[in-house]
């Protein structure tokens, strides 16, 4: 379990009269290709529609509980929105975010270089980007991630546990 190696802390809601020992879930380890493993320990992976972190961990590492390794290696804090949504959930997200009937409204405009510009921009031709196109593009950009090669996962886990234990 991800939080098993986190340190604990004493917490009180009443000025110290009653103390609780709880997991210090505020502790955060940030993984970069230079900090916990060398960049050669990673592969690029494209997430398929409907693939979740635990499914991917099971597929790559034969252990779905190592989902946190994938999230941490990619600095994914909120898997609900930092991980690509399945197509059906993405459609609902777009409707919920922009309102029913507004999915095809213009979100912004881009020039021929792909830069966001105001609708009054006249230097070059501009193209409108709908709310749906914007969210689809953002979702697709989340599909390419770095995954730790299976043979390096034990080293990664050991390094993370060491960082958590020392508070570094």
Q: What is the pLDDT along the chain (168 residues), one digit of tens a residue?
A: 555 656 666 777 787 788 877 666 555 555 544 455 667 889 999 999 999 999 999 999 999 999 999 999 898 988 888 999 999 999 999 999 999 999 999 999 999 888 998 877 777 788 999 999 999 999 999 999 999 999 999 988 888 877 777 655
Judge whether 8 and 51 are in contact, CB under 8 Å: no
DSSP for residue 120: T
CB atoms within 10 A of CB 138: 13
Residue 20, φ and ψ in degrees, nearest 5: -120, 140
Phi-psi region at 13: left, alpha or beta (left = phi > 0; alpha = psi -120 to 50): alpha
pLDDT confidence of residue 33 = 43
Instruction: Classify residue 36 by burial, with Cβ atoms within 10 Å: 0-12, 13-18, 19+.
Output: buried
């Amino acid at each position: 379990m991800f939080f098993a190696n986190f340190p604990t802390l004493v917490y009180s809601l009443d000025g110290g009269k009653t103390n609780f020992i709880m997991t210090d879930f505020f502790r955060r380890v940030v993984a970069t290709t230079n900090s916990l493993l060398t960049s050669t320990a990673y592969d690029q992976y494209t997430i398929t529609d409907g693939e979740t972190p635990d499914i991917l961990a099971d597929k790559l590492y034969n252990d779905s509980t190592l989902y946190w390794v994938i999230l941490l290696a990619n600095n994914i804090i909120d898997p609900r929105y930092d991980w690509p949504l399945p197509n059906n959930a993405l459609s609902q997200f777009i409707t919920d975010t922009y309102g029913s009937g507004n999915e095809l409204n213009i979100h912004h405009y881009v020039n021929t270089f792909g830069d966001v510009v105001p609708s009054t921009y006249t230097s070059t031709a501009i193209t409108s980007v709908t709310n749906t196109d914007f969210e689809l593009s953002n979702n697709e950009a989340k599909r390419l991630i770095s995954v730790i090669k299976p043979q390096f996962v034990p080293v990664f886990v050991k390094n993370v546990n060491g960082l958590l234990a020392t508070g570094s």
